[in-house]
Amino acid sequence: MSAIYILWLRQIKRYLRSRARIIGSLGQPLLFLIALGFGFGPIYQRAGGGNYIQFLAPGVIAMSIIFVAIFSGLEIIWDRQFGFLKETLVAPVSRLSIMMGRTLGGATVASMQGIIVFFVSLIAGFRPVSVMLLPLAFIFIFLCALLFTAFGTAIASLLEDMQGFQLIMNFVIMPLFFFSGALFPLQGLPKTLQVVARLNPLSYAVDGLRGTLVNGARFGLMTDFWILAIIVGVLMTIGSYLFSKIQI
């Protein structure tokens, strides 16, 4: 447990020391909130959808989480190339503890980023419908962060090249994001795309956030929670196995 705690704390300290990283990672969410929120807002309202900022903000929060969470896996490749990972792996602790500590640390960092974007969205005009549901929203934020941190760790455990990791992640992230219902409602889509959306784990994170923040859940909060929890368990298991096979 001490190794997990130390690695978890190390990830958080690394994040807090990098002010440029914190500020830089806010650029894309701000662009989506301002450009899309105010640009498409009147069109969305005339179409009968209501306030687009209210619809968009949960999706933007989820977007900020997955980008930070998945790319936390890049630190594994960075540490491997510069020898820091070898020093960690030869320590007298299990690789499972190391993987758990790094994953929990990365998920905490991604959750912090999501909460920051949540407060930024309040400045843009977003208003949650119930303060009582905010703790549940933060649970969905952490589940989303944990899922994609575990996914990034699993992929990074297979690769040794940072450029290859970035290419694969960009190839994966953008389809996940655009077919999650973050930017547009899923109802009314062709049946094939609706099936794709239902197979997309990010859809349930966005739906959970939308359900807790604006009462707009499509699948149901319990469905969102259990699907995310099951996928997190599966990815943590796969990530632990792949991390244990890293050659030093």
38 Cβ neighbours under 8 A, 6+ residues apart: 53
Q: Do residues 114 and 144 make contact, with C-beta atoms less than 8 angstroms apart? A: yes
User: Is pLDDT of 17 > 70?
Assistant: no
Domain chopping of the chain, boundaries: 2-244
Tokens describing residue 68: 């930070």
Q: Supply the pTM of this predicted model.
A: 0.87
The model's pLDDT over 79-121, given as tens digits with 9 standing for 90+, comes to: 676 666 666 666 666 667 777 878 888 888 889 889 989 998 9
Per-residue pLDDT tens over the stretch 198-228: 999 999 999 999 999 988 788 889 999 999 9
CB 227 within 8 A of CB 204: yes
Distance of CA 217 to CAs 32, 64, 191, Å?
A: 21, 20, 19
Identify whether the C-beta of residue 206 lies closer than 8 Å to the C-beta of residue 180: yes
CA 69 to chain centre: 5
Q: Could you tell me if 119 and 127 are in contact, meaning their C-beta atoms sit under 8 angstroms apart?
A: no
